[in-house]
Structure 1
Amino acid sequence: MNIANLNFQSWRGYLELMRPANIVTAWADILVGFAASGSGIIFAKLINGQTNFAILIPLAWLLLATTGLYGGGIVFNDVFDAELDAKERPNRAIPSGRVSLQNATLLGSILFALGIGAAFQVSWLSGAIAIFITFTALLYDSLAKHHSFFGPLNMGLCRGSNLLLGVSLVPAIVWERWYLALIPVLYIAAITAISQGEVHGGKKITGVLALLLIALVLTAVLALGFLTEYRAIAALPFAALLAIRVLPNFIQAAREPVPEKIRNAVKVGVLSLIVLDATVASGFTGLSYGLSVLILLPISIKLAQLFAVT
């Protein structure tokens, strides 16, 4: 019984390191990139029986790629924080001894290799983007996250590049739609900025800055309506849902920057990445596709009840 319990705790420790709920949000990045590349029409053809599921194989490779890349980045975050977590969060997988530092490093390396290898199955550009994501993730984990400006910017680049990884299903479109990466850059910068106070509390000015960035993101997703291929009216319901989910929590964290309110704002903000992606995806591909992306939200929320998000 004790051995079985030990094995369970060990496997749970590995899953805790990978943050399953967060990985689901990374899938949403790929799906919105898929829509922005113009490939969303494939789903309509599938529904009408005009094609078969084999056409989705490149998308499956990219979903596998982002699983490895995001998982690897999250694991190495705890690897680099092992000494600090031993003091501040001793219940986490590495400081608690459920996963050794060596095994965590091996897991993160395998996940990164899986992510890069899967991306190269789609195109050389997809593989190059995957390598860039790996580099930026390790840069954030090791150095940038300790910097109040470069930390949020660095993390934003990781998510923005992840969206472009989805767009890379049609490589030529990456050069046309590169600016879409700026939306998750701003959004993640807001979350990362406010998260810096989740252990000891933060500063009100940081919360105000995060709120301004969220407002800029909401404006940007509707401003995309100036593109002829983007329907802001389809994105509007999702943008409203995003505002309802995120703004109240960020306002509370800005007013009272105590650890509990900050952690709650960060958790809601991370999970609401799916709503942000559904917003942009619906603008490019329509309401039904946006709803299909939004289905990932309850899955991520359920996983967040089982495994930590921050």
Structure 2
Amino acid sequence: MSTLKSYLQLTRPANIVTAIADILAGMAIVRYPFEANPAYWLVLSTVGLYGGGVVLNDVFDAKLDAVERPERPIPSGKVPLQSAAFMGISLLVLGIISAGLFSLLSVEIAIAVALLAVLYNRFAKHSALFGPLTMGLCRGGNLLLGMSAINTSLPEWGWLALVPIAYIGAITLISQDEVHGGKRRSLYIAASLYTSVHAIQFLVAVNQKNGSMALLLIALHALLVGLPLWKALQNPIAPNIGKAVKAGVLSLIVMDAAWCIAFGNWPVALGVLLLLPLSILLARAFAVT
């Protein structure tokens, strides 16, 4: 059981739940008829893509983690490095194949996300600029993967993928100082990106005549990410930064639910919100960052 848990830890299960929320939000944005076809393939695709990406993150960071985080599955010896590498690649392939079983556009987006994940893990992650940008592109691609459920809607709504790019860029920027503590400058930049995200969400919701209802979830999301970030700004030590990163990741579900309401899909918004307690529960058993 401990071995199985170690392998699961590599995939960050709580984070994978947030990736599923992205897919549902993307489908809600393009007004996909969920009752006709739940699009299981796209959900399975994001499980593979996200899981594979974070597993390979630990593979590429094995030497660094041996010094900074020796308790992790690979440096602790609970999961052999080669086994983890095979697992990560297999999950990415699963994500691509699953997308291909849905549509040609979906598989093209999945391939792009997989390549971006490898690029981030191998080269970009240690760059203050390209690390947050590349990780943001991965999450933006994930939202586009959900939108690919109705490919004719991408020209109209594809630009919304810029929002998770900015949001995840902010989280990644914060997380770069998670081990040793950080500087307030990065936290202020993240705060400005968060504010921009909330403003865009609200404006889109107003344009769709759903501003007042979406505002409730947007405000909740701002509270969930704002309080930990404020504490980190007051005292930018590693534990506070870690909490800010964790809050940013898990509360993605609330942001995705806000997208669903912004486009008038209450049932899917409720379904997305129900993923939050699952993600929180998984976060208690498995590390998020």
Task: Give the TM bin, normalised by the shorter chain.
Answer: over 0.9
Question: What is the letter of the counterpart of residue 274 of structure 1?
Answer: I
Quote the residue 2:136 is aligned against.
156
d(CA) in 2 for partners of 1:63, 1:268:
23
d(CA) in 2 for partners of 1:137, 1:115:
12
1:210 paired to 2:210? no
How much does 1:225 deviate?
Answer: 3.2
d(CA) in 2 for partners of 1:286, 1:63:
18
TM-score normalised to structure 1 length: 0.91
Quote the residue 2:28 is aligned against.
35
Quote the residue 1:261 is aligned against.
240
1:182 paired to 2:162? yes
TM-score normalised to structure 2 length: 0.97
Number of equivalences: 289
Quote the residue 1:4 is aligned against.
none
SS in 2 for 1:73: helix
Quote the residue 1:293 is aligned against.
272
1:206/1:254 contact within 8 Å kept: no
* Match among 9, 15, 18 for residue 8 of structure 2: 15
d(CA) in 2 for partners of 1:256, 1:102:
39
Aligned-pair RMSD on alpha carbons? 1.1
* Match among 130, 145, 151 for residue 171 of structure 1: 151
Matches within 5 A, 1:30-179: 30-39=23-32, 42-43=33-34, 46=35, 55-57=36-38, 59-179=39-159
Deviations 1:158-215 (A, max 9, x none): 0010000000011111222111101111110111111111100110111111111111
2:24/2:268 contact within 8 Å kept: no
1:24 paired to 2:17? yes
2:11/2:55 contact within 8 Å kept: yes
1:234/1:287 contact within 8 Å kept: no
**Unpaired segments of 5 or more residues in structure 2?**
none
Question: What is the letter of the counterpart of residue 223 of structure 2?
Answer: I
1:205/1:254 contact within 8 Å kept: no
d(CA) in 1 for partners of 2:145, 2:277:
24
1:277 paired to 2:270? no
Deviations 1:79-105 (A, max 9, x none): 000000000100100001110000000
SS in 1 for 2:221: helix
SS in 2 for 1:263: helix
Structure 1 segments, 4+ long, off by >6 Å, are: none
* Match among 201, 207, 212 for residue 233 of structure 1: 212
Question: What is the letter of the counterpart of residue 16 of structure 1?
Answer: Q
- Greater Cα offset, 257-266 or 217-226: 217-226
Quote the residue 1:51 is aligned against.
none
SS in 1 for 2:145: helix
1:234/1:286 contact within 8 Å kept: no
2:217/2:257 contact within 8 Å kept: yes
How much does 1:255 deviate?
Answer: 2.2
How much does 1:286 deviate?
Answer: 3.4
